[in-house]
Amino acid sequence: MPIKGLYAITPDLSQTDELLDKVKKALQGGVTLLQYRNKLANNKLLREQAQALLALCRQYHVPMIINDHLDLAIEIDADGVHLGQDDLTHDDVNEELARYDKILGISCYNSVELALHAQKIGADYLAFGAFFPSVTKPNAVTASINLVKQTKKHVTIPIVGIGGIRLSNAAEIIQAGCAAVAVSDDLFNAPDIQDRARQFQQLFGNAA
């Protein structure tokens, strides 16, 4: 499955029905990849929401990635997992991933060195950011747009841009060479989620 287009990251919602309603609208608008991320949920709610979202994503033939929770991704047979650098320090991560045909995404923040390492250990994509001030992660490290152009000279896997990305600034990231943009706030808090997703996807159609 190519990593390209609008990569939606779910908001922290405790109400599963509300979450499913928002995600359904985003999928109808053309989201190409969904990451389930809920930093406020306990393990029971994580499993409940992940299973419900996976069933919904299957209806729309959109891959679902789980943030951080490798065991949960394997347990429910999600399509992949997204890990931060801290998650890669565990000795069993690479061994576990080698046993399953899953998408692996790795956060590389603003480091070319980390990007090269991600490619070396078999990541399917790497994520850079935050490129702009982020509502979801206000204290995130910052990355420059030039970093994308620089890194593309050294890696062959897709680059996902993340952090404060909105409809008003996404084109700049895409033109710099990001295959996908990860969006949460500007998508799921839009007045019309389906239309906002469609507008993001149109940016990729117009990209060079």
DSSP string, the chain: ----EEEEE----S-HHHHHHHHHHHHHTT--EEEE--TT--HHHHHHHHHHHHHHHHHTT--EEEES-HHHHHHHT-SEEEE-GGGGGSTTHHHHHHTS--EEEEEEET-HHHHHHHHHTT-SEEEE--SS--SS-TTPPP--HHHHHHHTTT--S-EEEESS--TTTHHHHHHHT-SEEEESHHHHTSSSHHHHHHHHHHHHHS--
Number of domains in the chain: 1
Burial 169-198 (b: 16+ CB within 10 A, else e): ebeebbebbbbbbbbbebbbebeebbebbb
Report the predicted TM-score, pTM, of the whole model to 2 decimal places. Answer: 0.93
Give the span between the Cα atoms of 174 and 145, in whole angstroms. Answer: 10
pLDDT tens, residue order, the chain (208 aa): 689 999 999 999 999 999 999 999 999 999 999 999 999 999 999 999 999 999 999 999 999 999 999 999 999 999 999 998 877 665 566 667 667 788 999 999 999 999 999 998 889 999 999 999 877 777 778 999 999 999 999 999 999 999 999 999 999 999 999 999 999 999 999 999 999 999 999 999 854 3
Note down the domain range covering 42: 5-205
For residues 3 and 179, is the Cβ–Cβ distance under 8 A?
yes
Report the CATH number at residue 27.
3.20.20.70
Residue 95, pLDDT score: 66
Which residues are the active-site residues? 37, 107, 137
Residue 208, pLDDT score: 38
